[in-house]
Amino acid sequence: MILEPLPLAPDHDLPAPLLTELTALYASNREFQSLSGDFPDPDDIRPEQVARALAEELANPDVEVLLARSEGRLVGVAITLAHHPDPADPDPWIGLLMVDAGAHGQGYGRRIAERVAERFRAGGRTAVRLAVLDANPKGLAFWTALGYEVIGHRPDLQLGRPCSVLRKQLRALRHTARVAVLDPEGGVFLFRYDNDGTGPHWALPGGGLEAGETAPEGALRELREETGWADLTPGPLLGTWEHDFTHFGVHVHQHDHIYVARGPHREPSGPHLAAAHAADGILSWRWWTRNELRTPAEPVWPPHLARLLDRFDEEG
């Protein structure tokens, strides 16, 4: 899925084909349009009405309209506000997030919300807000499932209807690289970590990328630092995993790149391992069978590791 700003013609008019797409998307969400009251007749939304509504939004230089496309098809739209008119409100806002009704249930709404948050985070913003009509319980459930918390209630600015105001803290972005080392029997090597925010859990060798370092380079460096195995080279990408947690007191949104390497069944070794493990919060280690991964007694990161490895085996 690609999320990009709305393209405008030199005269700031919407290209006719795009306006047709947007009108169809707006019209497909009749239930939401009935709640929002943005259009006189939710059963008869016309291109000129959509064009006028977007023009009114874009008259504010702090507003950005973002289009989501998947395989060339318009699947969603988001409208954001970089700065709220209230000077006491420091956060950017999501004014609208709408997914084409024909694409509901396919995860586009969540992905658009995550991409919008990434854009704000990249711009140095630390949180984002939005408002949900109290008459829209589905909308409230969607946003709270994404980690947004209700921080207040107030009427909306246009029609004075009761709304819930939600806010989500934008965590610092942390990129890591990890390696799933597989022994000849298909077992995988895991470290047991301790973390002040999550408690003990098992995870693959790896850690945060250094400045200017690629994910494969970081995977190789971390593997050697934490295991002492200098004869292994990370191979293909097994998968990625994004999650929020607290890294030594810092709230982060972490993006793990996970690679595969094959090697003998052995123990870590090296003169500097004890210091490295103490610095990283590593408590112990062991090899896990695939069946043990499916029913772990303690959390395993990523939680879908067994499924990733099974798919890797099936695809060769």
Q: Confirm if 67 and 25 have CB atoms less than 8 A apart.
A: no
Q: Using one digit for the tens of pLDDT, what is the confidence trace for 187-217?
A: 999 999 987 667 899 999 999 999 999 999 9
Q: Which three-class secondary structure state does DSSP give residue 244?
A: strand
Helices (H) and strands (E) in the chain, counts: 9, 15
- What pLDDT is attached to residue 249? 76
For residue 312, the surrounding DSSP H or E stretch is helix 305-315
Q: Packing angle between helix 47-58 and helix 16-28, nearest 10 degrees? A: 100
Mean pLDDT of the chain: 93
| The pairing of beta strand 201-203 with beta strand 300-301 | parallel
Count CA atoms closer than 13 A to 276's CA, side-chain side.
18
Kindly report the pTM of this predicted structure. Answer: 0.67
- What pLDDT is attached to residue 11? 66
Query: Which domains, and CATH codes, for the chain?
Result: 2-169 (3.40.630.30), 172-315 (3.90.79.10)
Report the amino acid identity of residue 53. A
Average pLDDT on 151-180 reads 91
Residue 290: pLDDT above 80? yes
What does the buried/exposed string (b/e) look like for 257-271 if buried means 16 or more CB atoms within 10 Å of the residue's CB?
A: bbbbbebeeeebeee
- What pLDDT is attached to residue 12? 67
Q: Which three-class secondary structure state does DSSP give residue 104?
A: coil
- What pLDDT is attached to residue 86? 87
For residue 36, the surrounding DSSP H or E stretch is helix 30-36
Residue 158: pLDDT above 80? no
Place of tokens 């610095």: 279
The C-alpha torsion from 22 through 24 and 28 to 31, rounded to 10°, is 60
